[in-house]
Amino acid sequence: MLSRLTAGAFRQAAGLGSARSAIFSGSRTASVRFASTKASSSAFESFANSRAAFASVSLFTAGSIAWYTHLYGTLPFIGEVHASHLSDEGLHPSAYPWSHKGPLDSFDHARRVIRRGYQVYREVCAACHSLDRIAWRNLVGVSHTADEARVMAEEVEYEDGPNDQGEMFQRPGKLADYMPAPYPNEEAARASNAGALPPDLSLIIKARHGGADYVFSLLTGYIDPPAGVEIREGMNYNPYFPGGAISMARVLFDGLVEYDDGTPATTSQMAKDVVTFLSWAAEPEHDQRKQYGIKAVILFSTLFWLSLYVKRFKWGVIKNRKIVYNPPSQKH
């Protein structure tokens, strides 16, 4: 019977079989694709409904809020939330153009600002505040000569020893000695200041928010308390101090100090000088650090451009080369 079929019938049967196979294969592919799509959508739904997704969204939201409040202080359309009133943090000081404020600026040694600032500290501030981290030798070459610093150190008696008999003794100060404290201990300091402890001024510029601007504003910002503000006895009103009530009374008045160079000793001038001195005391290596920084920037910038040139010179040939593959010819 097969022998009676024509060649056209065989071709038609072959075409029909290929069409059926194509239909079945297409239906399998469609079913597979549908199954994969359904599986992926179900996996996304399960992740969206999981605790991990909730925790991720919560962390992202909390992080965004924290970063926004860090940049701008408050959230939009929401009032400020504080455990205390903003006035308890003190009035924000103004920004003053200090001679050493810029990235390339140094202390003004030509005008002897640090020397005048030390004079204000010695004659006014040293009665209550210590300067534990500054030795007499630190003044040499900055505000005083070696002989001047040696004479000032010898005016102070330091306890030393023990001697050959095992006893402590008093001796004149040396350049290696640190500046003396006004009180022997913390209890004596509090007893002499109605319970308040005068802070050490070695790092006061770095220890207070606002730095030099805050200390200058504090020294020159004493005013009478406004209406409705009660200050208890023994306290003084200063809007720049947190809470407004400060134990330290106003200490700078016009003409309180007589400068050696004839500079008028106004309140603002004395405050500027002593703040500059305290800025230097907080960072005696200030000028040297900036000098090293400039040298480092110049050196590393030169090395950076030199490294780019060497990299292009050495690797340019390798990166721009053309690799051609020539298959071996078959020899018969």
Q: Residue 240 and residue 246: Cα distance in Å, rounded?
A: 10
Nearest to 152 by CA among 141, 136, 129: 136
Q: Residue 234 and residue 246: Cα distance in Å, rounded?
A: 9
CB-CB neighbours of 100 under 10 Å: 17
Query: What stretch of H or E contains 160?
Result: strand 157-160
248 labelled ligand-binding: yes
Q: With contact defined as beta carbons under 8 Å apart, do 130 and 200 qualify? A: yes
- Which residue stretches of the chain are H helix? 7-48, 51-72, 113-123, 146-154, 186-192, 204-207, 212-220, 267-282, 286-319
270 labelled ligand-binding: no
Query: At residue 209, what is the residue type?
Result: H
Q: Residue 201 and residue 128: Cα distance in Å, rounded?
A: 10
128 labelled ligand-binding: yes
Q: With contact defined as beta carbons under 8 Å apart, do 265 and 256 qualify? A: yes
Q: Residue 215 and residue 246: Cα distance in Å, rounded?
A: 13
209 labelled ligand-binding: no
Nearest to 222 by CA among 267, 272, 274: 267
Binding residues for heme c: 125, 128-129, 248
Residues flagged as binding site:
125, 128-129, 248
